[in-house]
């Protein structure tokens, strides 16, 4: 199988929206993701024994030398696409896939050469390309797989398929293409001669050469046009013929597929923040070395003496193995989580000596249950868990409190390598222990169970997990010390997981009637927008169909053309916003409103579906998703609710105070990332701007633009605000230009002017990258590290991504640490003050509490004190507090 890498990467780029495939630092990955997905699927479906990918080097080839206008009409390569091809090349190298790029030739010529060699050597050949000129290579042994829908659907062009579509043999295709011309390559056609006429002439005369020889026999105006343009068509014919004898460094027999470097592939995808498990599974599933990789043996010497405990046997086992101050026990469990009905169906425990036990909680007698509950709640009896928060949350359904957790292997893995794709137990066991979790190892003597394996597959599997958790705990104890993160786990992450488990159980009360009325309102707004759109055009069309939108915008209404894509002119949100400024027609504005209202409706529908039986919404907080240490939430994602729009504020009014409580309280940090940046940079000007008491962005704008404060207009303030936060997020000049809608040159000039005024910030950012390059990692104020090996990469794109991460991680990571410390301190203070008010949510830099009657004043004083005093910064932490009957009215 031979693949045209550039052609397919370009198609993937236009098939997937860049805004949905971008790293936290602004590196687009849509072409990489789309290419990798198509690659995995094609390798799976076709199962080639030999494989290579060819790329174009540049537009300067023998064709452009012969015809200077060759491909000259093609638009400039989008900036978002640049660099992605090189990263695709790195992925192919990790897959040990040969790739070719030859100066002076196109990928087509390389493919034609390899296909010709392969066919002569007796291979069946598949060519995957989006270039129709490749149809000339089709034969009984050569098939072209041509993308007909993005990169997700491939049509097989055999000799019969080529003849069916064009009425020609594959050998006649370049003759036909020469007559037809090719607008995409800027090869001129013959006026009045389309595909049907070109095919008719080739069939009539047999070949292009014969047609030229007998040109005078071609009748009518079309014949005269052919004779008038015959030299141009002869040139077309030379250019459309693929070269089949390019000198290459490898022959076909060198293209046999080899086992992947799975570690490198995982590292590349992790760096690019491509964490979709399905893509990784598909890529690894087509690894020629997959069978060997799947046969990783269990670690030699592991022995597991597993016992299934029946009624009355749990208490004695715990008495023997779960002693206070003794060795830690690893615990694994199987459960179903839903507030009020969740339950634990299986529990496994593993001791350091190799003993393990499994039991079904429903079979516990009174003594067993008391012994197990007492062991769980005893802080002096150390426990090792994986994803302890989920365990604590569901164990509470049985009335069990879990104390004494000394290690959470998921959190430990996150602190060791926060950018990794998966914190699943099986992946960690394989990587750190060299051990598969399936109990199949018992057959080769690596694992020895005390009971018949056939009868206890589930019990054995869970005991293996418990032992892996215990052993991972030992391994991570060492690794945490090596990366300086032991205190972070003990002092911040483990206590935070305990607190989050409670928050998830608390949930927040929801006003179902309010949310349902909002959903109806948004649904009505969507329908109204549809009616207005139809009325503005004078006909009905599908607002969700890009093809119909293109027809309406650019053909019927003849509006200005937007960015050209493979499927036509784009109608994405950026394009609609641009069109709204370029025309007086109301349709672009109506379309923007339609999409916004539809998105809001989906958001509200999602909230309504997650209201539990207790009338509250119980989100799930994630500690291991954001590499910077920030928390995120899912089911529902509360960070998705707009903060600054009227609709977003109306949605927040659906989150209300619950029964038995008086009000909601919100408390958040003002400009925490910028305060951290001022603290770390020690820039006197920025610190002064914070301590002046004036509006920060206005003060900074006055200094950057050299005007008095009262002369700073809204646009100046907007630019400086975006600039300041952009620096804290590691944003490049290109990323800033996209945010502000200005030229990259202007954005670079704005950054330079900013740095002239705030030299301390410039010096700090440079120093942060230099230090990270020297040590290999960045570090927050509290010692949270992020290792960035790509800071020394030869690949410019990966190096620049790592540099942006080096700027971003210490600032965002420190802010995340501060918020966690504040949460823990507030929660502790509420307990010590014996208040019944409680914390419910943490979203971005905001904490939401539910305030008991009569406790508002005490709670506010406590919250302000603990949040402001979480850490000491040179730009002091500023806390805003609000109180109200719902989330929005509690805003400040």
Cα–Cα dist 299/446, whole Å = 8
Higher pLDDT, 153 or 777: 777
Locate tokens 């394009």: which residue? 575
What is the per-residue pLDDT across 486-504, written as a single tens digit (0 to 9) for each?
999 999 999 999 999 999 9
Q: Please list, in sequence order, all residues whose beta carbon lies within 8 angstroms of the beta carbon of residue 460, skipping any fewer than 6 positions away.
A: 306, 358, 439, 442, 449, 451, 453
What is the per-residue pLDDT across 360-398, written as a single tens digit (0 to 9) for each?
999 999 999 999 999 999 999 999 999 999 999 999 999
What is the CATH T-level fold of the domain 2-166+244-255, as seen in this structure? Rossmann fold (3.40.50)
Q: Please list, in sequence order, all residues whose beta carbon lies within 8 angstroms of the beta carbon of residue 419, skipping any fewer than 6 positions away.
A: 270, 271, 273, 627, 786
Residue ranges with strand state E in 116-264: 125-128, 142-149, 153-157
Q: Do domains 509-618 and 673-809 have the same CATH topology?
A: no
CATH of the structural domain 509-618, one choice from 1.20.1060.10, 2.40.128.280, 1.10.287.130, 2.30.110.10: 1.20.1060.10
Query: What pLDDT, on the 0 to 100 scale, is given for residue 470?
Result: 94
Average pLDDT over residues 468-477: 94
Cα–Cα dist 479/475, whole Å = 6
Query: What pLDDT, on the 0 to 100 scale, is given for residue 403?
Result: 95
Class of the domain covering 673-809: mainly alpha
Contact 256, 49 (CB under 8 A): yes
Residue ranges with strand state E in 427-527: 508-510
**167 has a pLDDT exceeding 70:** yes
Query: What pLDDT, on the 0 to 100 scale, is given for residue 238?
Result: 72
* CB atoms closer than 10 angstroms to residue 82: 13
**Three-state DSSP state, 337:** coil
In the chain, what are the domain boundaries? Answer: 2-166+244-255, 305-487, 509-618, 673-809
Query: What pLDDT, on the 0 to 100 scale, is given for residue 185?
Result: 60
Query: What pLDDT, on the 0 to 100 scale, is given for residue 149?
Result: 66
Cα–Cα dist 748/699, whole Å = 21
Measure the N-to-C terminal CA separation of the chain; round to a whole number of Å: 62
Domain 305-487 in CATH 3.20.20.410: no
Q: How far is CA 750 from CA 104, 150, 713, 756, in A?
A: 40, 38, 16, 10
Contact 497, 408 (CB under 8 A): yes
Locate tokens 């002064």: which residue? 688
Most confidently predicted of 60-69, 432-441, 723-732: 723-732
Query: What pLDDT, on the 0 to 100 scale, is given for residue 315?
Result: 94
Q: Which residues pair with 407 in a beta bridge?
A: 384
What φ, ψ does residue 731 adopt, rounded to 5°? Answer: -75, 140
What is the per-residue pLDDT across 535-586, written as a single tens digit (0 to 9) for each?
999 999 999 888 899 999 998 998 888 877 767 788 888 888 888 888 889 9
Query: What pLDDT, on the 0 to 100 scale, is given for residue 196?
Result: 73
What is the per-residue pLDDT across 778-818, written as a single tens digit (0 to 9) for each?
999 999 998 887 887 777 777 888 888 888 889 999 999 99
Query: What pLDDT, on the 0 to 100 scale, is given for residue 157?
Result: 93
Percent of the chain with pLDDT over 70: 88
What is the per-residue pLDDT across 697-714, written as a single tens digit (0 to 9) for each?
999 999 888 899 899 998
**589 has a pLDDT exceeding 90:** yes
**325 has a pLDDT exceeding 70:** no
Cα–Cα dist 506/500, whole Å = 10
**447 has a pLDDT exceeding 50:** no
Cα–Cα dist 16/13, whole Å = 6
Q: What is the pLDDT confidence band of residue 199, given thresholds at 50, 70 and 90?
A: confident
Check residue 154 and report its DSSP letter: E
Low-confidence winner among 347-356, 495-504, 854-863 (lowest mean pLDDT)? 347-356
What is the per-residue pLDDT across 210-262, written as a single tens digit (0 to 9) for each?
766 676 777 767 667 667 667 767 776 777 788 889 999 999 999 999 999 98
Q: What is the pLDDT confidence band of residue 311, given thresholds at 50, 70 and 90?
A: very high
Average pLDDT over residues 288-302: 56
Contact 813, 629 (CB under 8 A): yes
What is the per-residue pLDDT across 672-686, written as a single tens digit (0 to 9) for each?
999 999 999 999 999
Query: Per-residue DSSP letters for 35-92?
Result: HHHHHHHHHHHH--SB-EEE----S-BHHHHH-TTTTTTSPPPPTTTTTHHHHHHHHH
Higher pLDDT, 855 or 577: 855
Higher pLDDT, 281 or 763: 763
Query: What pLDDT, on the 0 to 100 scale, is given for residue 194?
Result: 63
Query: What pLDDT, on the 0 to 100 scale, is given for residue 448?
Result: 38
**Three-state DSSP state, 643:** coil
Query: What pLDDT, on the 0 to 100 scale, is given for residue 296?
Result: 43
| Stretch (H or E) spanning 5 | helix 5-15
Contact 437, 429 (CB under 8 A): yes
What φ, ψ does residue 353 adopt, rounded to 5°? Answer: -75, 0
Q: What is the pLDDT confidence band of residue 441, given thresholds at 50, 70 and 90?
A: very low
- The whole-chain average pLDDT of the chain stands at 86
Q: What is the pLDDT confidence band of residue 304, given thresholds at 50, 70 and 90?
A: confident
For residue 636, whether the previous peptide bond is cis, meaning omega lies within 30 degrees of 0, is: yes
Q: What is the pLDDT confidence band of residue 527, given thresholds at 50, 70 and 90?
A: very high
**Three-state DSSP state, 559:** coil
CA triplet 565, 598, 648: central angle to 5 degrees?
Answer: 115
Q: What is the pLDDT confidence band of residue 453, given thresholds at 50, 70 and 90?
A: very low
Q: Which residues pair with 153 in a beta bridge?
A: 149
Query: What pLDDT, on the 0 to 100 scale, is given for residue 299?
Result: 47
Q: What is the pLDDT confidence band of residue 444, given thresholds at 50, 70 and 90?
A: very low
| Stretch (H or E) spanning 848 | strand 846-851
What is the per-residue pLDDT across 120-165, written as a single tens digit (0 to 9) for each?
999 999 999 988 888 989 999 999 999 876 556 788 999 999 888 8
Q: Please list, in sequence order, all residues whose beta carbon lies within 8 angstroms of the beta carbon of residue 285, skipping any fewer than 6 positions away.
A: 40, 44
Q: What is the pLDDT confidence band of residue 445, given thresholds at 50, 70 and 90?
A: very low
């Amino acid at each position: 199988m031979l693949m045209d890498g550039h052609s397919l990467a370009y198609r993937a780029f236009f098939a997937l929206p860049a805004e949905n495939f971008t790293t936290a630092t602004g590196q687009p990955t849509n072409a990489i993701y789309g290419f990798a997905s198509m690659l995995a699927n094609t390798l799976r479906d076709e199962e080639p024994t030999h494989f290579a990918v060819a790329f174009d080097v540049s537009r300067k080839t023998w064709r452009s030398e012969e015809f200077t206008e060759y491909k000259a009409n093609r638009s400039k390569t989008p900036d978002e696409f640049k660099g992605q091809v090189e990263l695709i090349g790195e992925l192919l190298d990790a897959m040990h896939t040969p790739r070719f790029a030859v100066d002076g030739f196109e990928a087509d010529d390389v493919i034609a050469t390899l296909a010709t060699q392969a066919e002569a050597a007796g291979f069946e050949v598949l060519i995957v390309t989006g270039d129709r000129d490749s149809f000339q290579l089709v034969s009984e042994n050569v098939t072209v797989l041509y993308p007909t829908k993005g990169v997700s659907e491939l049509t097989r062009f055999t000799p019969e398929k080529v003849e069916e579509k064009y009425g020609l043999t594959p050998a006649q295709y370049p003759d036909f293409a020469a007559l037809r011309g090719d607008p995409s390559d800027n090869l001129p056609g013959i006026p009045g001669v389309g595909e049907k006429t070109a095919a008719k002439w080739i069939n009539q005369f047999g070949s292009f050469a014969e047609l030229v020889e007998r040109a005078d026999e071609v009748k009518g105006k079309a014949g005269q046009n052919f004779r008038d343009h015959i030299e141009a068509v002869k040139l077309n014919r030379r250019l459309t013929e693929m070269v089949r004898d390019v000198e290459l460094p490898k022959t076909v027999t060198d293209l046999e597929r080899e086992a992947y470097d799975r570690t490198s592939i995982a590292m590349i995808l992790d760096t690019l923040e491509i964490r979709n498990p399905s893509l990784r599974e598909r890529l690894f599933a087509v690894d020629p070395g997959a069978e060997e990789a799947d046969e990783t043996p269990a670690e030699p010497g592991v022995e597991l003496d597993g016992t299934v405990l029946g009624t009355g046997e749990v208490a004695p086992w715990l008495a023997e193995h779960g002693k206070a101050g003794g060795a830690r026990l690893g615990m694994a469990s199987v459960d179903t989580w839903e507030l009020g009905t969740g339950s634990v169906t299986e529990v496994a425990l593993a001791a350091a000596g190799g003993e393990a036990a499994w039991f079904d909680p429903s079979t516990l007698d009174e003594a067993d249950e008391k012994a197990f509950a007492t062991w769980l709640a005893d802080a002096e009896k150390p426990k090792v868990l994986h994803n302890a928060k989920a365990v604590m949350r569901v164990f509470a359904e049985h009335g069990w409190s879990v104390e004494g957790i000394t290690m959470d292997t998921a959190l430990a893995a996150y602190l060791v390598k926060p950018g990794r794709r998966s914190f699943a137990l099986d992946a960690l066991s394989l990587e750190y222990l060299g051990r598969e979790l399936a109990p199949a190892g018992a057959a080769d003597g690596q694992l020895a169970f005390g009971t018949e394996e056939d009868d206890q597959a589930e019990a054995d599997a869970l005991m293996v997990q418990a032992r892996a958790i215990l052993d991972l705990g030992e391994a991570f104890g060492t690794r945490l010390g090596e990366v300086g993160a032991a205190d972070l786990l003990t002092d911040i992450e483990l206590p935070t997981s305990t607190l989050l488990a409670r928050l998830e159980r608390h949930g927040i009360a929801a006003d179902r009637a309010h949310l349902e009325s909002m959903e109806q309102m948004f649904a009505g707004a969507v329908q109204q927008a549809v009616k207005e759109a139809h009325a503005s055009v004078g006909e009905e069309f599908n607002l969700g169909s890009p093809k119909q939108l293109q027809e309406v915008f650019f053909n019927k209404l003849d509006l200005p053309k937007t960015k050209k894509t493979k499927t036509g002119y784009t109608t994405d949100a950026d394009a609609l916003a641009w069109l709204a400024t370029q025309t007086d027609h109301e349709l672009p504005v109506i379309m923007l409103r339609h999409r916004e209202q539809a998105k809001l409706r989906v958001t509200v529908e999602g909230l309504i579906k997650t209201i539990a039986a207790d009338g509250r919404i119980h989100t799930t907080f994630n500690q291991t998703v954001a590499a910077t240490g920030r928390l995120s939430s899912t089911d529902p994602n509360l960070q998705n609710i707009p903060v600054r729009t009227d609709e977003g504020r109306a949605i927040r009014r659906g989150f209300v105070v619950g029964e038995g409580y008086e009000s909601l309280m919100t408390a958040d940090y003002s400009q925490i990332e910028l305060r951290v940046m001022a603290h770390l940079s020690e820039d006197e000007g920025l610190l002064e701007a914070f301590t002046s008491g004036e509006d920060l962005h206005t003060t900074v704008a006055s200094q950057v633009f050299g005007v008095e404060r009262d002369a700073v207009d809204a646009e100046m303030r907007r630019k400086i605000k975006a600039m300041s936060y952009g620096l804290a997020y590691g944003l490049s000049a290109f990323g800033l230009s996209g945010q502000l809608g200005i030229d990259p040159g202007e954005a670079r000039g704005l950054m330079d002017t900013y740095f002239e005024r705030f030299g301390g910030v410039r010096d700090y950012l440079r120093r942060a990258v230099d230090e990270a390059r020297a040590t290999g990692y960045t570090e927050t104020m509290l010692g949270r590290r992020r290792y960035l090996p790509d800071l020394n990469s030869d690949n410019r794109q990966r190096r620049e991504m790592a540099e942006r991460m080096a700027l971003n991680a210490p600032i965002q990571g420190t802010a995340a640490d501060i918020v966690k410390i504040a949460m823990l301190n507030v929660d502790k203070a509420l307990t010590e003050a014996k208040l019944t008010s409680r914390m419910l949510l943490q979203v971005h830099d905001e904490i939401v509490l539910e305030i008991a009657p009569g406790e508002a004043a005490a709670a506010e004083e406590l919250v302000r004190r603990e949040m402001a005093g979480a850490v000491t910064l040179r730009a002091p932490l500023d806390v805003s507090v609000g109180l109200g009957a719902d989330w929005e009215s509690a805003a400040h």
